[in-house]
Chain A
Amino acid sequence: MVQLTRRHLLTAAGAAAVAGIAGCSSSPEESADLDEKRAGAMDGFKAGDQFKATEPLTFSIMMLSNQGYPYKADWPFFKELTARTNVTVESTAVPGSDYNQKRSVMVSAGDAPFIIPKTYHPDEEAFIAGGAILPVSDYAELMPHFTEKVAKWNLQPNLDQFKAEDGKYYLLPGLHENAWQDYTLAVRTDVMTKLGLSQPQTFDDLTNVLREMKKAHPDLYPLSDRWSTPPQPGANNLLNLIGTAYDAHVGWGWTPTHWDAAASKFVYSGSTDQYRQTLEYVNTLVKEGLLDPESFTQTDDVARQKFANGKSFMISANAQTVVNEARKDIAKIPGATVAKLILPTGPMGATLPGTSRLENGIMISKKALESKNFVAMMQFIDWLWYSDAGLMFSKWGIDGQTYSGKVDDGSFKLDPGITWAGINPDAPKNLQVDYGFSNGVFAYGGSTAMLNSQFSDEEKAFQAEMNKRQVREVSPPAPLSIEEREQVTLWDSALKDHVFQNTLKFALGQRPLSEWDAYVKELEGKNSTQYLDIVNKAHERYKKAHG
């Protein structure tokens, strides 16, 4: 009896192992000819072409169901998509709340749909070793619109950052023509006018504006900020805005390594001079009573209440929160007005970091490569996610039905009977809920004209200013091996904690900035040097292998 049990156990273990391996096995024909996989594909498909499969095809897709517009199989989006492309998408509906977890299980079990959208870099890295997802860079030539946009918008350096150690990337990200700066500070414009203050150009100007406000209202902090959710040190947007001006990776913009172009190597972000300058600036604001020290710890609600009660005049914002929150919050103060501040500049001049130009993207299940419709699928993806026509379709729908005009000449207009994000607020139908367009699974990225088409005039003016700014070069790729990544992760949390804690201390003046050198030594004691060695070695190795 005991023997029998043991045999059973072994059989069960064996079966589990086989199932596990089946999920991870790599296809033997990786670089094989794609000729047998062209069923339904278009011959000579090129940029500008409308994709239409030569026979009816069905592709499976992992479909994030957004709470705001839960997935419906009968959305006009799907019907029109089939009419235009001859492709039916077969959706596995996954609640947005736990999308990543289900994706992770399905991919690891080798059971994922062919098309796996809504993946944010570097989430795809976890699946590379398992071999369940496709190195999409090998098949980029099947995607004329994608390659055209990458070349035209000079996005290759950004894509290079997505590359794994083998020099391939495994995610097809959404592409933005330009860096999109949405976040800034919102300011009480009526207070500015009353005090005769003009729009600050630089962060030093901003300090002066705050000083004037403080002079007129000595009993309050003119700037009291929000968005202090850990793990970052607090006032995460403010720090990031200042960091943008000083070229420091801080707050929301935190990344552990910082590319030093002059020395052509990576340095540790938390010990750069730019980081110190950022903290110096913040510390000045705190010292002079211009920035509420509670900015780093208070909840958003508290910060909003201070702004709403006229106890502060500036608060972090984006286009959405200015309209939905700040403006509503101050409604009860007579004559109060609020607007986004054109993002002040600093030592880096009128530039923006170029890191925000790639969006979340699509992974492709390796199983798809075995399908005879593989080429057609890549063409379909290329058209829907990367062609101007496809982007316009997934974003705004059908010309003459849901919208009219063009985005390029500014004549675009959403149908008055349809509402979307504050446009036509009283319209009976909703572009997302009732039609399935502007769905985050399909519609993101695209040209600046496309992006602008969704903004109010006020926001367009802000964006016009932002678009004048030069986009900075991104750092070169330094892909780590699995072992290296594990090692680096071990050091990373201790380092990060120390940086964040001290960021707060320096900013609040609890630790004098004269102790900066001691602080850098402390980071070295926590292996920042070894960390950089690994990253710099990876960079050198990559350069040697892939140019």
Chain B
Amino acid sequence: MVTESRGYRVFQLVNGIVLTAVVLVTLFPFVNIVARSFSGEQEIRSGQVTLWPKGFNTTTYEKVMSDALFWTNYRNTVVYTVVATVIALFLTTCYAYVLSKRQLRGRSVLVGVAVFTMFFNGGLIPNYVLVSALGLRNTLWAIVLPNAISVFNLLVMKAFFESLPTELEEAAAVDGSGTYGTLLRIVLPLSKAVLATMLLFYAVAFWNSWFAGFLYMDKQELFPVTVYLRNLIAGATSGTDVTATSEAALQIAASIQAVTIVLTMLPIMLVYPFIQRFFVSGVMLGAVKG
């Protein structure tokens, strides 16, 4: 039986305390937001709500969720996010893998082209003119294509591929594997961690994005839910709306932000546990012998 040294136990204790504190600090805003979203107007305004709903009230949820347009827009967001993420992940992986090959001629030009767009872009109106001229407005592609490759993600992925030992690919080549075979059978299975990270980055970005949807869609049925909720918040908090007379309107004004956060946060948060198992270290431990 191995006894733990005293120092180690103290370390574990301190570690536990610090990590618990971090968890609490991280969780508190979430819990507070959830509590606010279920609280009454008076209680929210007077700042009584901390961890538990006070003056339990679901008017805002009912109002938001009873609107057919909300669900239409919600479905749009799911579709846009899934399609955009799949395409973005595919394109980024292809581009990054190519860029990671040092023997590739013209590699620096290809990197330069990508990096150039990080610092310079056409600007809002030329982009709008371009997307309109390509006939992409009011289609899914207006949201997907202009944002299909995030250069930051591309560079992260390229760095990851570069860090893979070339010996593995050489070994695959010796065994008769072609370029695509190597990518599909050797490189990608070893890159689950970075793929999962990219998946999250893209999915969260597309899920949260509202501007492309707002700019390129001219019909409300095509908006992502973020645009819907943004408009709801603006209307509820502007205070200039003469219709805001009823109790319900005041209740909505008080809790709409919390409700909105909960509604948009929930689905994307549920993705995390499923992806977490890919964040493992040591897949390649001992793959290459020194």
Contact = CB atoms under 8 A, between A and B. Distances in A.
Interface of A: 1, 5, 16, 19-20, 23, 65-71, 92-98, 102, 105-106, 108-111, 301, 305, 320, 323-324, 420-422, 425, 430, 432
B45 interface: yes
Interface in B207-222: 214-215, 218-220
A93 B69 CA distance: 13
Given A68-B241, A102-B214, A97 B129 contact: no
B220 A93 contact: yes
Contact of B231 (A19, A96, A430): A96
B230 A97 contact: yes
Nearest to A60: B218
8 contacts: A1-B106, A16-B126, A65-B231, A67-B231, A70-B69, A96-B231, A111-B128, A324-B250
Contacts of B214: 95, 98, 102
A421 B242 contact: yes
B125 A108 contact: yes
A67 B128 contact: no
Contacts of A109: 125, 128-129, 132
A68 B245 contact: no
Interface in B153-205: none
A70 B234 CA distance: 13
Contact of A324 (B122, B228, B236, B245): B245
A432 B245 CA distance: 13
Interface of B: 45-46, 67, 69, 106, 109, 122, 124-126, 128-130, 132-133, 214-215, 218-220, 223, 227-228, 230-236, 241-246, 249-250
Given A93-B219, A97-B230, A421-B243, A301 B45 contact: yes
- Most central of B122, B126, B244, B246 by chain A CB within 10 Å: B126
Contacts, number: 95
Q: Which 8 A-B pairs have the closest CB atoms?
A: A67-B235, A97-B234, A95-B231, A68-B243, A92-B218, A97-B231, A19-B129, A422-B245
Contacts of B249: 68
Nearest to B133: A19
B244 A23 contact: no
Contacts of A68: 235, 241, 243-244, 249
Contacts of B215: 102, 105
A206 B278 CA distance: 72
- Most central of B45, B133, B220, B246 by chain A CB within 10 Å: B220
B235 A66 contact: yes
Contacts of B243: 68-69, 420-421, 430, 432
A532 to B, nearest CB: 33
Contacts of B241: 66-68
Given A70-B69, A92-B218, A432-B243, A97 B126 contact: no
A246 B228 CA distance: 45
Contacts of A324: 244-245, 250
A323 B235 CA distance: 19
B126 A20 contact: yes
A432 B241 CA distance: 12
